[in-house]
Amino acid sequence: MQGFKSFLLRRFLAALVATALLIGLLAAAALAPMPFVDAEALVNQFEEMLPRLTETPVMIFLNNLAASLLMMIPVLGMALAGLIVYNTGAVIGAFSAVSNVPVALLLLIPFITVYGFIEMLAYGFAVSQGFFLTTSAFKKQLRKEVRSLPYTVAVVVLLLLAGAVLEWILIRLGSALMT
């Protein structure tokens, strides 16, 4: 039993470290300078996709699940996670530039409303699983690590479901308040 507790603690701590790194990357990307023309183009492109992506909690969930599953791919997943999170941060920075809303406020809103932390924690679990798969492959112990994969996927799915429902509710409330 002690070994199992140690295993769970190691997984949770790895997920927290990965989450912190992803949040740092998100902030760095949001704070990176971007020409106004590029910011406008990025916002326009995102606003075209947004209604389809946020139509239902299922759409939000599926979009985030696809990203999470990519993040679990050994070796490549960590790079894909960086790219996905960096691009999300760039969108936040672009919205800040176009709307004159401070980037810090746009970065904080998803975390203050909790759904952003839930999603980033799910991504942290996904990235750490990709890391564990990668290291176990180099140690020639991949079969052992693959056994823990369904549990990590289950945690990621549960977190993303909760985050998607909360995000969708907040989007609907925000839309109702603006009309």
Beta carbons within 10 angstroms of residue 134's beta carbon: 18
Closest C-alpha to 26, from 76, 82, 96: 82
Q: Examine the pLDDT at 93 and tell me if it is beyond 70.
A: yes
pLDDT > 70: what percent of the chain?
A: 98
Q: Examine the pLDDT at 43 and tell me if it is beyond 70.
A: yes
Is 48 exposed, middle or buried, given 0-12, 13-18 or 19+ CB atoms closer than 10 A? exposed
At 23 the pLDDT is 97
Would you state the structure tokens that stand for residue 104, as one six-digit string?
């810090």
Confidence label for 7 from pLDDT (cuts 50, 70 and 90): confident
At 1 the pLDDT is 67
Looking at this protein, which amino acid is placed at residue 96? Answer: S
Higher pLDDT, 179 or 173: 173
Beta carbons within 10 angstroms of residue 167's beta carbon: 23
Closest C-alpha to 157, from 68, 57, 52: 68
Kind and range of the H or E element at 30? helix 2-31
Q: Examine the pLDDT at 4 and tell me if it is beyond 80.
A: no
Q: What is the dihedral of CA 52, 23, 21, 16, to 10 degrees?
A: -90
Name the one residue in this structure whose structure tokens are 């699983």: 129
